[in-house]
Chain A
Amino acid sequence: MSHLPASQSATPMLRQIAERPTVRGALMRAPLPVKVFGALFVLGFLALNAGIAYVVIDGRLDGQWYDVRDLGVGVGALTDWMRDQGVPEVAVYLTSAIVGATGVLSLVGVWLIIGPWLERRAIAKFQVRMGPNRNGPFGLFQSLADAIKLMQKEVIIPRGADKILYFIPPVFIFVPALLGWAVVPWAPEMTYTDLDVGVLFTIAISSLGVLAVFLAGWASNNHYSLLGAMRTVAMMVSYEIPISLSLLSVAMLTSSMRLSEIVAWQSNYNVWMIVILPFAAFAFLFSSTAEINRTPNDIGEAESEIVAGFYTEYSGMKGGLFMAVELGNAILVGALMSTFFLGGYTMFGLETWIPGYLILLTKIMTVYLFFVWLRATLPRFRLDQLMGFAWKFLIPISMVQVFVVAIQASVLARVDAPGVFVLGSFAIINLSMTILLVRLWASRMSVSTIQQATKPILTQVVGGLRAAEQIRKPV
């Protein structure tokens, strides 16, 4: 353990902190065989992929079950084999569905163990402290320990609560977090169901969360719960419209609501949608944080004013489920953001050589760490600011953008120029239009975009805030 120059630390406490295990330190001081084996494993996986990709692209082999770049191919091979064995069609269908659903479940399940740890460690880094590091290596088992603790806690059911409705929300709130994964494409063949109305499906599924939240607040029969539920519902329904509008622009430009086709469009033109539609991407990202109740938009569970918001009365594992679903939603939103705006599982040709699901996972983690960054940086917004931001800023500008994109999509379908020039000009037009509209909005709404430099003035006159405001003048 005494690998660090602990003698340089001044006090015993600092020395103790320096000696605590960290991920980087463990990687550095791992035994040489472990290091070599890990590096060989990662390199071998990538080399195997590249080799298969080379053989397949070279035309010597078709894509087969051994093609690890696309796990859907393996499932296809399994179902083909079952058909050859004379298994009834229903059983084949059920098998492929259950294999896919197990994949989705294991992803979310593993994430619910790793996610809280990652978030707490990242937040701790932002706040210059250690974070969980006691349970297991680097505190990795922290969330497992939390889950076991929550399961052992006494379940308190308030007398005033509705006896039936009280039990539905903790289970039902998980449905949108898991069902949204159905349409996310992980690789060309690796989608659970590639619905042709995928965009509408995601919007519909994300609206389901409102029901569980309001059910929880109403069934608890608690003033805090009801307040939190009302706030959350008002916020969620308001921010659903910017999401619909921004996805409308995406669907319009790609002429498709199938998520795999949206990814294929971006791969085809070698451009990410965030470049062409910067405002739509921003609206989607910000509205999503409101949709999943994450900071800075977690006014519905603002612990400094209304205890825990809509799940105040839920104790033990039921409350734990409400906390867990926030993380599950966060990576779902990351996946949707990556698919719609960041190119999905494609990466300018890299997806031929390494698996698409690894690329998508990397993008999801990037968006997720951006969420963590937001949480560590921004304070919570007030409810009237939030509603005003949705209704007076995001919705009007999104509507203008939708109409401009409609014209652009018609142009794209008719003009026979190379995509680079057309889409490049669209990107420039949209970016400048966004900047113009935001500045116009700011000046019309009398919000100064440039902060006046003010010198702090001590209140010299007794009279409180009003007197202080009167004597404060811009320098």
Chain B
Amino acid sequence: MIPEEFGRVGILFAIALTFPMIPLAVSYLFYITKIRPQNPDPVKQATYECGVESEGSSWGQFNARYYVFALGFVIFDVDVIFLYPWAVQHAEMPLGTLLKAAVFMGILALGLVYAWRKRALEWR
């Protein structure tokens, strides 16, 4: 049964979320029992930047080249996921499906060649 199987995954998910909270909880316990110090002051809480004061917030614009790679990832990874149902079934299918899959993968490869030629894969 599919819901039962994923129900087990859900239980593991819940336990996986509690597992890293145990050391954090112990850490908090140390804070309550005064074992762990907690003396915040403005200098200590400043943004770390190797001793100099940090200039401005980092919640701003960043380099667009990351965006190009993210786009490429979305295109390729989604298309590869589409190939999986075919991959599992295709051994029993007639050979014509191989040709169709070749067309699909050819379009993917064309996309890669296009991105390559447009120098989108260069790290500039």
Chain A residues near B (Cβ < 8 Å): 93-94, 97-98, 100-101, 104-105, 108-109, 147, 150-160, 170-175, 177-179, 181-182, 192-195, 199-201, 203, 218, 221-226, 230, 233-234, 237-238, 240-241, 244-245, 248, 251-252, 255-257, 307, 312-313, 316-318, 320-321, 383-384, 387-388, 391-392, 395-396, 399, 402-403, 406-407, 409-410, 412-413
With a cutoff of 8 Å between Cβ atoms, the chain A residues found around residue B108 in the complex are 399
Q: Kindly provide the distance from the CB of B83 to the nearest chain A CB, expressed in whole angstroms.
A: 6
**CB-based closest 7 A-B pairs:** A384-B123, A178-B16, A413-B91, A237-B73, A252-B87, A174-B20, A244-B80
Judged by a CB distance under 8 angstroms, whether B118 is at the interface is no
With a cutoff of 8 Å between Cβ atoms, the chain A residues found around residue B4 in the complex are 93
Number of A-B pairs whose CB atoms are under 8 Å? Answer: 217
26 of the cross-chain contacts (CB-CB < 8 Å) are A97-B11, A151-B23, A152-B30, A156-B45, A157-B40, A158-B45, A160-B47, A160-B57, A174-B16, A175-B13, A178-B19, A193-B5, A195-B9, A223-B54, A234-B66, A240-B73, A241-B73, A241-B76, A241-B80, A248-B83, A248-B87, A251-B87, A257-B88, A317-B24, A387-B123, A391-B116
**CB contact between B62 and one of A98, A230, A399 (< 8 Å): that residue:** A230
With a cutoff of 8 Å between Cβ atoms, the chain B residues found around residue A173 in the complex are 20
Q: Is the CB of A312 within 8 A of B48?
A: yes
A383 to B63, CA, bound (A): 14
Q: Is the CB of B11 within 8 A of A226?
A: no
Nearest A residue to B4, CB-CB? A93
A229 to B37, CA, bound (A): 30
Q: Kindly provide the distance from the CB of B55 to the nearest chain A CB, expressed in whole angstroms.
A: 8
Q: Is the CB of A234 within 8 A of B58?
A: no
With a cutoff of 8 Å between Cβ atoms, the chain A residues found around residue B46 in the complex are 158-159
Known: A153-B36, A154-B36, A240-B73. Is A97-B88 also a contact (CB below 8 A)? no
Known: A224-B48, A248-B87, A403-B105. Is A233-B26 also a contact (CB below 8 A)? no
Judged by a CB distance under 8 angstroms, whether B17 is at the interface is yes
Q: Is the CB of A159 within 8 A of B47?
A: yes
With a cutoff of 8 Å between Cβ atoms, the chain B residues found around residue A255 in the complex are 88-89, 91-92
With a cutoff of 8 Å between Cβ atoms, the chain B residues found around residue A94 in the complex are 11
Q: Kindly provide the distance from the CB of A175 to the nearest chain B CB, expressed in whole angstroms.
A: 5
Q: Is the CB of A171 within 8 A of B98?
A: no
Chain B residues near A (Cβ < 8 Å): 4-9, 11-13, 15-17, 19-21, 23-24, 26-27, 30-31, 35-40, 42, 44-50, 54, 57-59, 62-63, 66, 69-70, 72-73, 76-77, 80-81, 83-84, 87-92, 95, 98, 101-102, 105, 108-109, 112, 115-116, 121-123
Nearest B residue to A321, CB-CB? B20
Nearest A residue to B113, CB-CB? A396
Q: Is the CB of B48 within 8 A of A313?
A: yes
Q: Is the CB of A151 within 8 A of B26?
A: yes
A251 to B88, CA, bound (A): 6
A238 to B71, CA, bound (A): 10
Known: A159-B46, A233-B66, A391-B121. Is A252-B57 also a contact (CB below 8 A)? no
**CB contact between A307 and one of B27, B48, B112 (< 8 Å): that residue:** B48
With a cutoff of 8 Å between Cβ atoms, the chain B residues found around residue A224 in the complex are 48-49
Q: Kindly provide the distance from the CB of A132 to the nearest chain B CB, expressed in whole angstroms.
A: 20
Q: With A155-B38, A391-B116, A412-B91 given, name 12 new contacts (CB 8 A).
A: A105-B15, A160-B54, A179-B9, A218-B59, A221-B58, A221-B59, A222-B54, A223-B58, A230-B63, A255-B88, A307-B48, A312-B48
With a cutoff of 8 Å between Cβ atoms, the chain A residues found around residue B90 in the complex are 252, 406, 409-410
Q: Is the CB of A406 within 8 A of B98?
A: yes
Most A-side CB within 10 Å, residue of B7, B58, B89, B116: B58
With a cutoff of 8 Å between Cβ atoms, the chain A residues found around residue B91 in the complex are 252, 255, 409-410, 412-413
With a cutoff of 8 Å between Cβ atoms, the chain B residues found around residue A98 in the complex are 11, 15
A65 to B15, CA, bound (A): 26
**CB contact between B81 and one of A237, A244, A409 (< 8 Å): that residue:** A244
With a cutoff of 8 Å between Cβ atoms, the chain A residues found around residue B87 in the complex are 248, 251-252, 406
Q: Is the CB of A93 within 8 A of B36?
A: no
Q: Is the CB of B45 within 8 A of A159?
A: yes
Nearest A residue to B15, CB-CB? A101
A310 to B14, CA, bound (A): 25
A193 to B102, CA, bound (A): 34
Most B-side CB within 10 Å, residue of A156, A241, A391, A395: A391
With a cutoff of 8 Å between Cβ atoms, the chain A residues found around residue B8 in the complex are 97, 100, 182, 192-193
With a cutoff of 8 Å between Cβ atoms, the chain B residues found around residue A238 in the complex are 69, 72-73
With a cutoff of 8 Å between Cβ atoms, the chain A residues found around residue B83 in the complex are 248, 402
Q: Kindly provide the distance from the CB of A113 to the nearest chain B CB, expressed in whole angstroms.
A: 12
Q: Is the CB of A182 within 8 A of B57?
A: no
With a cutoff of 8 Å between Cβ atoms, the chain A residues found around residue B37 in the complex are 154
A112 to B39, CA, bound (A): 30
Q: Is the CB of B112 within 8 A of A395?
A: yes
**CB contact between A388 and one of B66, B80, B121 (< 8 Å): that residue:** B121
With a cutoff of 8 Å between Cβ atoms, the chain B residues found around residue A100 in the complex are 8, 12
